[in-house]
Amino acid sequence: MTTAERSITEETARFIIDTSYNDLPEALRAEARRCILDGLAVMLAGTTEDCTKIIHKYIGGLGVVGPARVPGTAASFPAEFAALASGVSGHAHDFDDTQIASAPNRVYGLLTHPTVPALSAALAVAQEVGASGKDLVTAFCIGLEVECKLNEAINPRHYQQGFHSTGTFGVFASVAAAAKLLSLDLDTTRTAISIAASKSAGIRCNFGTMTKPYHSGAAAQNGIVAARLASMGYEADPSGLDGPWGYFAVAGGGVDEEYVRGKLGNPWALLDPGVSVKPYPCGSLLHPTMDALRELVIAHDVAPENIEEVRLGTASNVINALRYVAPKNALQAKFSIQFMLGVLALRRRAGIAEFRDEVVSSPDVQAMMQRVKPYLDPEIDAQGFERIRSRVEVMLKDGTTLTQEASVSRGTPERPMTPDELAEKFTECATGVISADAIAKAIEAVRNVESLSNVSELLTALG
């Protein structure tokens, strides 16, 4: 049977079982280490959030214990529950990385947050089976690749009609990573993928609520469950992604096969087009604009009281997704143009400390949000959505207008964060969760993760 004659489900399963550590180019391994460091950072930061605490309370109430430790906590659960907790924590601040589109008809920022579901599953199962650092990196790279390539192949209608791809395709990252670490054979891996397809879920109406990070955690958990069930002989259609009743047709109305056939690992999505590390803990669709506004107010030393209005011309995908005009809390503020630009105009920063309920409700922030005026720019909208394009104007009370166009933010492949900047982000996220000594040890452990004989050493380094 030729590659073209195989179902996409089978082609995906073959990629999972046939790919080894030696097949990973060094450039890919380096990117994986960067993603793992960033993923662990946001997992640590999210441990203090209410959504994560409730998940831990839920799991604790089940009375389950196991060998998989959860980063930043004393908890140790069976792999599926450790992945659930890590996945929720890692997406709690919306500070985790973003998949980049490779074509104008694919939507940048509306694809997946790829690292957290893949890493949550790989970390948990790796601990359960006593895997090495090399095994972890291999499973993580395979999981992220499957997630990104399958997600980009589905008709864009999937996201546009309301599915949240981090939940719906994160489950395929998890099942791929788990299948690799559990050494499933071809037929069992196909079955696992098909079970995962029936557990794929996540809808966009829950943006700005605790359930958005739950999408990531549930995806990580469900992929492991699917792999475990398949390994025990549970049955499913062997081609669950394909055909008129398969996942691509049902959830998206179709698939553009050229995005996935022959493309798994060719090139690796982590290398081309890459993923974007977030400089701000909020919706990535505004990050280029936020960087542009921050640069304007710093370069021109703009005092908040001198700002008459901040105008933003951008595309429909930005305006539609960032839908909270008057956010009531920090979760809604992560999807509010008015808050994200307003708080930057006031404080010249928008970090974890800014995305707090008390900041959102403060009188100065509320007043500045009233001065932020987004609008749809037809020319920008017509250019497509593979980039996040915008034009920001700061209109001052003396009549001066400061203008800057934006399409790239810090953390993207065009403006990658340096190792020092990544370490700074890790430190911001981890401070108050683990000790300063543990922060330094953790950064060093991730940079040398492939030398670890057992992944548990990495969790020990996290304190």
Quick check: bond before 267 cis, omega within 30? yes
For the segment 223-248, the average pLDDT, to the nearest whole number, is: 98
Kind and range of the H or E run holding 229? helix 211-231
Q: Residue 395, SS3? A: strand
Percent of the chain surpassing pLDDT 90: 91
Side chain identity, residue 306: N
Interval 352-361: pLDDT, tens:
999 999 999 9
The region of weakest confidence among 89-98, 108-117, 288-297 is: 108-117
- Give pLDDT, residue 422: 96
Interval 139-150: pLDDT, tens:
999 999 999 999
Q: Does domain 284-406 have CATH number 3.40.50.1100?
A: no
Closest CA relative to residue 413, chosen from 97, 19, 11: 97
Side chain identity, residue 142: I
pLDDT band at 276 (very low <50, low <70, confident <90, very high): very high
For the segment 308-322, the average pLDDT, to the nearest whole number, is: 94
Q: At what angle do helices 79-91 and 165-181 cross, to 10 degrees?
A: 140
- Give pLDDT, residue 223: 98
pLDDT band at 385 (very low <50, low <70, confident <90, very high): confident
Interval 179-204: pLDDT, tens:
999 999 999 999 999 999 999 999 99
- Give pLDDT, residue 5: 75
For the chain, the first-to-last Cα distance in angstroms comes to 50
Interval 35-75: pLDDT, tens:
999 999 999 999 999 999 999 999 999 999 999 999 999 99
Query: 174-183 in b/e burial notation, b at 16+ Cβ within 10 A?
Result: bbbbbbbbbe
pLDDT(4) > 70: no
pLDDT(160) > 90: no
Percent of the chain surpassing pLDDT 70: 98
| Fold adopted by 3-278+423-461 | 2-methylcitrate dehydratase PrpD (1.10.4100)
Query: 414-434 in b/e burial notation, b at 16+ Cβ within 10 A?
Result: eebbeeeebbebbebbbeebb
Integer Cα distance of 35 and 17 in angstroms: 22
Q: Are 96 and 287 in contact (CB under 8 A)?
A: no
Q: Are 181 and 139 in contact (CB under 8 A)?
A: yes
Q: Are 427 and 439 in contact (CB under 8 A)?
A: yes
For the segment 82-105, the average pLDDT, to the nearest whole number, is: 91
- Give pLDDT, residue 274: 93
Q: At what angle do helices 26-46 and 79-91 cross, to 10 degrees?
A: 80
Interval 161-176: pLDDT, tens:
999 999 999 999 999 9
Interval 246-275: pLDDT, tens:
999 999 999 999 999 999 999 999 999 999
Neighbouring C-alpha atoms within 13 Å toward the C-beta of 36: 31
Q: What is the mean pLDDT of the chain?
A: 95
pLDDT(95) > 60: yes
pLDDT(107) > 80: no
For the segment 314-320, the average pLDDT, to the nearest whole number, is: 92
The pTM is what?
Answer: 0.92
- Give pLDDT, residue 451: 98
- Give pLDDT, residue 1: 57
- Give pLDDT, residue 315: 93
Integer Cα distance of 347 and 82 in angstroms: 37
Q: Are 85 and 230 in contact (CB under 8 A)?
A: no
The ranges assigned to domains in the chain are: 3-278+423-461, 284-406
For the segment 306-330, the average pLDDT, to the nearest whole number, is: 94
